[in-house]
Amino acid sequence: MSILVDAGTTFIVQGITGREAVNLTRECLDYGAGARIVGGVTPGRLGRDVHGVPVFDTVAQAVEHHGGPIDGSVVTVPPAFTKDAVIEAVASGVKLVVIVTERIPRADVAQMVEFAAMHDARIIGPNCLGIIVPDVVKMGGIGGPAKDAAKAYAPGSIGVMSRSGGMTTEISSTLTAAGLGQSTAVSIGGDAIIGSSYAELMPLFAADGQTEAIVIYTEPGGRMEAQLAQWVADHGDPLPIVAFMAGRFMDEMPGMSFGHAGTIVEGKEDTATEKIARLAGAGIVVAERIEEIPDLVRSKISERAAT
Amino acid sequence: MRFYEYESKEIVRRAGIPISKGGFATTADEARTRAEEVAGPVVIKSQVLTGGRMKAGGVQFADAPEEAARHAQDILELEINGHMPRGVLVDGRVDVAQEYYAGVVWDGLRKQPVMLFSDMGGIDIEEVAETHPDHVGRAHFSNVLPFGDYQAKEVIASVGVTGRALTRLTPILTRLAKLFVERDMTLAEINPLAQLADGSFVAVDAHMEMENEARGRQKALLADLGVGDEETREAREATEFEIAGEAVDAQDHRGVAGNVTEFDGNLGLVIGAGGGSLTLFDAVRAHGGKPANYCEIGGNPSVAKACGLAKLVLSKPGVDKIAVMMSIVSNTRVDIVARGVIKACVELGHDPAEKIAIFRIPGAWEEEGFKILERYGVPYADRTVSLNEAARRAAEEVGPSPTVQERPEAEPPHQNAGPEAPRR
C-alpha cells in the first residue's frame, strides 16, 4: 500500500501551461502505471491540451468534464495567484492539494491551510516536489523525468518525509542503492508553515501495512521536529524513525537565513543541537551522515522484530 | 526582515494606534529640532538592529534641546554589538501609570497567528512568561474569519484587566492583529504599551518584523519608510560579495543561483539546492574544509547564471579552488551546470581541471554533463559517491587555508568515482 496517493488517484495540474508544469505533466504521465491526470487549468486557455491532457479555464470546468469529483491537484501558479488557485481547488471538492510554488507569504499559506481543513482537504507543501509511490505513481516533480525517478526510487517498506525536495530523492536513492525500497516518499516543503508536517503524516504511515520504518530529512528552524518527538511519545512509538539533520553550522549564526524560508534560527528551540536532542529523547536515531541511514534503518527494524 | 524602532512606530501609527510624540534624527542638529518640537523632556534612543542598547549607553535622557543634541552626538558615534546606529529616535518622555505588553507572532504548528498580552510590560515577554505565566494571555485567531474585538477582550480579560483599561486596550489590540495580517508581519510587538496618568494609551516602543517573501506586495509601505531593496536586514548587512551574488541571480528569471553568504575560507562552493547546500556545507566543515561562501543553485538555472555564480566565487580573494556539488537533481540539468562552471574557469583564464576540486551533481542529463567534464579533465562523481564523500574529497583537494599544500602522494583526482549506479 501507500499513503495519500495510489494508481487510481485522479488529479489536475493548475498552471499546466507553464514551462515547468508542462515538464511535470509529462513526467507524471510517464512514470509507473501513468498518472491519471484528468485535466489542467490555466485561465484563458480553455480548449488547449498539454501532452493530451485537456486544459480548462476553471477547476469547476475540469470537474464537470471529468464527470465527478477529482481527488487531487498539483498547483504550480505564481506566488501571487496561489492562494486563489488552492481555494478554488478545495471549493471544487479536491481533497489533496500539492503546492509546488515557492515564496508564498506565510499569511497566504495559513489561510489556504485553514480553508482546506474546514473542507476536510489536505495540503502538501508549499515549496515542495510532491509525492511518489515507487513504480506506481508520482504526483509532482519529485524525482524528475520518469527514467531519473526510476533510478532513485524503488518499491519497499520505508516511508520518507523531507523538508527538502532534492534531499527526498538523495535519501531515497541511498536507500534504494542499499536494497531498501520506499512505500511512499513525501516532499513536505521547506517553508515555515506547511500543509502537512511530519507528525501530521505519521498517522497515515502508521496505518499503512507496507511501511516498516520512517526516514526524515530535517533542518534548523521551526518546531516540527519537537512536534514529531511529542507525537512519537504520545502514540507509543509505532514505527522506527531515523532522522538526518542538515544545517548544523547554522547554530553559530542565529538570525541569518540559509536554505529554505523556514530555515532560520530564531530562538534556542530552533537550533540543530536542540532538535537533535529532542528527537533522540523520543528514541529517534539521528544519523551523522546520509550513507549511515540504511544500516540504521535495518538495525531499527530488526530490533523491533526481536521484541 | 527586521524594522528599526522608528520605522516600527511609524507602522504602528499608520495602523491607527497612538504613539508617543517624537521623531527620527540622523544628526545632532536634527535631534535638537526634534526635541524642540516635543517641547519637554525627551529620551534619545540609538536606532540599531540589536538588543542591549540601554546597557551599552545607547539610551539617554535630556530635559533641554541642547542636551538632547549632545547626547545624540555621542549615541550616533556609539557602536553597539558591532552595529553603528542608523540614527536616533528623539521621543517625548511620557508619564507612565502602567506598562503593558501586546504582541502577535505566528504559531507554525497551529498555523495561526497568536496574540500575546501582558499587564507586565516593559520587560522581555519571554521572561514574564517564565516567571509570571498567569500574567501572559494568549489567543490564537483564525486566518479565514475576521479578527473580532471580542478576541481582544478575551485575551485582555484573561490576565485580570478590566474597567476602562480593558475597553481602551481593545481597539489597540484589534488594530495590532489587523496590522500583523495586512502587513505580512512575522512579529508585531508593542512593548511597552503605556497607560498614561490620564488613562490614555500610547505605544512607547515597537518591534516589527516583516516576512521577506511579502516584500513585493508591501512595496508601497517599504518605499514610504525608505527601506531599500538591497537592505536584507539580516543579523548582519549584506557584503559586496553577497550583493554581487544577488545581481547574478537577478540577471534572468530562469532558476536560482543565489542566496550567497560570504565566509573567509579558501574553498569556493557552487552548491545546491536548499537542503543539499545545508548538507554539503556541514560536510565540508566536518572534513576540515574552509568554505569561502555558502550559496544555492537550483530550479534549472541558465548556463549564464551558473557561469556568473562560478565566476563570482572564483574571483573572490583567497579562493584556491571551487567544489561544484548538489544532491541528485531532477529539474536542474547536470550538463547546463557543467557548461556554466567550465565556461567560468575558461573565461577567467583558469584550467577547469585545476580549479574545480570536484564536480558531484548526479541526476537529469548526467551522461551529457559527465561527457563535457571528461573532455576538460574535471574530476567528477556520480550518485555512488555520497555528498559527504564528495565534500571530503573537495576539502582534501583544496588543502588547508590559507596556503595550499603540495601533496604529491595524493590520489589522482581525474577519475570517475566508482561503478555504475545500482539499478533495479
Residue B37 has pLDDT above 90, yes or no: yes
B279 lies within 8 A of chain A by CB:
yes
pTM for this model (two decimals): 0.92
Q: What is the pLDDT of residue B260?
A: 93
Residues sharing a CB contact under 8 Å with residue A101, sequence separation 6 or more, in sequence order: A75, A76, A77, A78, A79, A82, A125, A126, A127
Convert the pLDDT of each residue in B276-319 to its tens digit. Answer: 999 999 999 999 999 999 999 998 899 999 999 999 999 999 99
**Mutation for testing the B interface, residue in A169, A188, A216 having most B CBs under 10 Å:** A169
Q: Residue B234 pLDDT > 80, yes or no?
A: no
Do B100 and B172 form a contact (C-beta atoms < 8 A)? no
Task: Locate the chain A residue with the closest alpha carbon to B285.
Answer: A249
| pLDDT at residue B412 greater than cutoff 60 | no
A107/B259 CB distance under 8 A: no
Cβ A141–B330 below 8 Å, yes or no?
Answer: yes
pLDDT over threshold 90, residue A215 = yes
pLDDT in tens, B167-184: 999 999 999 999 999 999
How do B96-107 and B185-196 pair as beta strands?
antiparallel
Residue B415 at interface with chain A, using a CB cutoff of 8 Å: no
Q: Which residues of A are catalytic?
A: 260
3 state SS of A37: strand
Most B CBs within 10 Å, among A102, A103, A112, A249, to test the B interface: A249
Q: For A76-113, how does the pLDDT look when each residue is reduced to its tens digit (9 = 90+)? A: 999 999 999 999 999 999 999 999 999 999 999 999 99
Distances (CA, A) of B346 to B293, B349, B355, B376: 21, 5, 10, 10
Q: Give the type of residue at B409.
A: E
Contact B273 A166 (CB under 8 A): yes
Rounded distance between C-alpha atoms, residue A25 and residue B358, angstroms: 34
Question: Which CA distances in Å does B349 have to A129, A208, B322, B345, B354?
Answer: 39, 57, 15, 6, 11
pLDDT at B404: 42
Place of cell 532558476: B255
Taking residues A201-228, report their average pLDDT.
96
Q: What is the pLDDT of residue A257?
A: 78
pLDDT class for B235, splitting at 50, 70, 90?
Answer: confident
How many beta-carbon pairs below 8 A join chains A and B?
182
Question: How does DSSP classify residue B19?
Answer: B
Q: Which of B142, B252, B327, B388 to mutate to test the interface with A (most CBs of A within 10 A)?
A: B327
Tell me how many degrees the CA angle B316-B318-B320 measures, rounded to the nearest 5: 95
| pLDDT score at B406 | 39
CA distance B355 to B338: 13
**3-state SS, residue B89:** strand
Contacts of B2 (CB under 8 A, 6+ apart): B49, B207, B208, B209, B233
Q: Average pLDDT for residues B214-230, to the nearest whole number?
A: 93
Q: Contacts of residue A258 in chain B, CB cutoff 8 Å?
A: 259, 261, 277-278, 281, 294
Specify whether the CB–CB gap between A106 and B106 falls below 8 A.
yes
The answer, for A131 touching chain B at a CB cutoff of 8 Å, is no
Mean pLDDT of chain B: 91
Q: What is the pLDDT of residue A268?
A: 73
pLDDT at B419 over 60: no
Question: For residue B261, which of A118, A256, A143, A157 has the smallest C-alpha distance?
Answer: A256
CA–CA distances in Å: residue B109 to residues A83, A218, A224, A226, A297: 19, 15, 7, 10, 27
pLDDT digits over B116-158, tens only?
A: 999 999 988 989 999 999 999 999 999 999 999 999 999 999 9
Task: Return d(Cα B53, Cα B420) in angstroms, integer.
Answer: 60
Cell numbers of B310, please?
A: 562560478
Min Cα distance A218 → chain B (Å) is: 9
Judging by DSSP bridges, how do beta strands B201-203 and B256-262 pair with one another?
unpaired
Q: What is the mean pLDDT of residues B67-79?
A: 97
Instruction: Please state, rounded to an integer, the average pLDDT across all residues of chain A.
Output: 95
Q: What residues in B contact A148, CB-CB < 8 Å? A: 330, 363-364
Q: Is A298 exposed, middle or buried (0-12, 13-18, 19+ CB in 10 A)?
A: middle
Residues of A in contact with B273 (CB under 8 A): 164-166
Q: Residues with Cβ < 8 Å from B131, sequence gap 6 or more?
A: none
Q: Supply the ipTM of this predicted assembly.
A: 0.95
> For residue A248, what is the DSSP state?
G
- Chain B residues lying within 8 Å of A248, measured CB to CB: 282
Please give the DSSP secondary-structure letter assigned to residue A71: -
| A262 vs A164, residue with greater confidence | A164
Residue B231 banded pLDDT, cuts 50, 70, 90: confident
B319-358, pLDDT tens digit by residue?
Answer: 999 999 999 998 899 999 999 999 999 999 999 999 999 9
Per-residue confidence band for B402, with pLDDT thresholds at 50, 70 and 90 = low
Q: Does A254 touch chain B (CB under 8 A)?
A: yes
The average pLDDT across A225-235 equals 96
Give the model's pLDDT for residue B416: 38
> 497551529: which residue's cell?
B110
Residue A4 Rama label (left phi>0; alpha psi -120 to 50; beta): left
Bond from prior residue into A126 cis (ω within 30 degrees of 0): yes
